[in-house]
Structures are given as structure tokens and as C-alpha cells.
Amino acid sequence: MKIALVHDYLSQDGGAERVLKAMSEIWPDAPIFVLFHDAKKIPYFKSERVRESFLAKWPRVKTAYQWYLPWMPMAMEKHDLQGFDVVLSSSSVVAMGVITTPHTLHISYCHTPPRFLWADTHKYVADLKYNPIIKSFLPGIIHRMRLWDKMSADRVDHFVANSKTVAGRIAKYYRRASEVIYPPADMSNFKINGEIGDYFLAGGRLVPYKRMDLIVEAFNRLQWPLKIFGVGPEYQRLKKHSRSNIEWLGMIDEVAKSTLMSQARAFIHPQLKIWALLRLNPWPAAGR
């Protein structure tokens, strides 16, 4: 049985890329089809195994890929997947849009329907640091991509969601059922620590939709100790606007991350709701 793996693009070492890595270890002979691959940032995929689209040859695609958004659907459709029995796509942008033959089984592991097309469209446009003239063209581009995305969902034979939340989004936007299979995690790195530290913890890729700005705003007001790990385009801006109670750790390894989590008072994840944090009772003086 011939299997192909499909992913959006390999330009950042995040959770979706770790899922793809696990898939590639399960099926070590399966080629990996992507829009482009930045081997310096994602070195654990062998270049001879990765098959890039024509966008990989375009200028600055690895650092300014957002500018090529209108061409991503066509680039993904250009991948030739004839001869494969199973296509397993790891998708949060355009990977599920590949075209397969009638006999091919296409299973899409969906990290989320594209946020900028569905749940976060208006905020996505508002947060972009482009001039108003360029931003005026975005609604039309996003509208056409939304239609293409819905059509792409119809090509998928079976959906797998990475959480119940994503399963709900798939049902909402695509009107499709999905099975929830949680992402793999190496639980041997994590343990329960008897001693709780004197800090809260947050982290991940520092991009706008992760809403780290809400955490910074909240902890600037609360003045509680907070440690934030991770890097990204929002790093300098957020650090500049944070107060001295917030410590920026940058990129850390998995061992350091598990240690921080085991000793933190709580891990703060702001994407869905942050208001609960603001409603907490003031931190007792003894706990500081």
C-alpha cells in the first residue's frame, strides 16, 4: 500500500509539525508533499523525502509566505498524487485541498479549519501590519479562498480532528463529521511536582492569533509573576509592552518546558477566553 503525507508548509516548528513528524515515523517510506520546506528551521525532515511545490522557487517565500496566499490553493492542487492508495493530510491552511484519484482514500487530520477564513476573519485583517490600500484587497481574496476551502472539504473522505473543539468547527463550517484523535505527546517528560513555584506560565509560537497580548495585558494589571516561553513575530512588541513581573524565556527545550509546567501555579492559554483569569480572587499575600 502506497501512502503519501501532505502538510501545508514547513517553516515553523510548532505542534502541527510535531504531528507530521509522528506520522512520518509511523510511515517512514511515505513522501511528504508541502508548499515549501525551510530546512534550517525544520531540520528533522530529510530533504530527499520532502516534495515541494512551485512556490518553493519563488523569492522570499520562506520568510514572507503570507504574500503568496492567493497562489497557495493552486500550488497545493499541482501536487501529483497519482499512484497512491492513501493520502493523509495534516492541514490547517490548504493541505486538505490536494486532488486525489477516485481510488485513493484521503484522510485529513485537521488541526483547525483556517482561522483567517472562518472564526477569526475580521480580526485577522484588522491585525495585519499592511497599509490600508493593500488591506482593502484582502476581503475579496479571503472570500474566494473561503469558497475554495469549503470545496476542498468536500474532497476529503474522512476527517480526523485533533480535539473536540476542532471537531465542532469542522461540523460548523464544513458540515462534516469527524473522529477525534488527540495529538501525540511524550508523557515521560512530564511529572507531578510536589512543590509549586511562585509563577504562572504561558507559551507557544508568538503570533497574533495565539492572543498572547491578552496575557501580557492581564498580568501587567495583576502584577503576578509570569514566565513566557517561545518566539515569533510578536516577541519584540509584546516584550516591549510588558512589565518587570513578566519574564521572557525565548526558545527552550522540552526538558526545561516540562520542568516549568510541573512547578507553575497554572498554565495560561488565552485563545478562547481570558476573562476567567481577571475574575480570580486576588492572589493571597502568602502565595507570593
Is 191 in the same domain as 145?
no
- Residue in 140, 172, 146, 147 with CA at minimum distance from that of residue 159: 172
Q: Name every residue whose Cβ is closer than 8 Å to that of residue 12 and which is 6 or more positions away in sequence.
A: 41, 42, 205
Q: Rounded to whole angstroms, how far apart are CA atoms 66 and 208?
A: 14
pLDDT digits (tens, 9 = 90+) for 154-192: 999 999 999 999 999 999 999 999 999 999 887 777 777
Is 154 in the same domain as 78?
yes
> Which pLDDT belongs to residue 223?
94
Q: Rounded to whole angstroms, how far apart are CA atoms 78 and 262?
A: 46
Q: CA dist 237 to 2, 127, 145, 206, 271, Å?
A: 46, 13, 30, 10, 18
For residue 74, what is its C-alpha cell? Answer: 493552486
pTM of the model as a whole? 0.81
Q: Which of 127, 149, 180 is the last residue of a domain?
A: 180
Is 220 in the same domain as 247?
yes
pLDDT digits (tens, 9 = 90+) for 66-97: 889 999 999 999 999 999 999 999 999 999 99
Is 225 in the same domain as 133?
no
Is 194 in the same domain as 253?
yes
User: For the chain, how far is it from start to end, CA to CA, in angstroms?
Assistant: 59
Is 166 in the same domain as 214?
no
We report the CATH number of the domain holding residue 126 as 3.40.50
Angle CA(116)–CA(120)–CA(124) in degrees, nearest 5?
A: 60
Is 164 in the same domain as 212?
no
How many domains is the chain built from? Answer: 2
Q: Which of 180, 213, 233 is the last residue of a domain?
A: 180
Per-residue DSSP letters for 119-139? Answer: TTHHHHHHH--S-HHHHTTHH
Q: Rounded to whole angstroms, how far apart are CA atoms 55 and 32?
A: 15
- Pick the more confident residue, 245 or 278: 245
Is 143 in the same domain as 191?
no
Is 74 in the same domain as 171?
yes
Element (H, E) at 173: helix 164-174
The boundaries of the domain holding residue 84 are 3-180
Q: Which of 137, 157, 180 is the last residue of a domain?
A: 180
We report the CATH number of the domain holding residue 224 as 3.40.50.2000
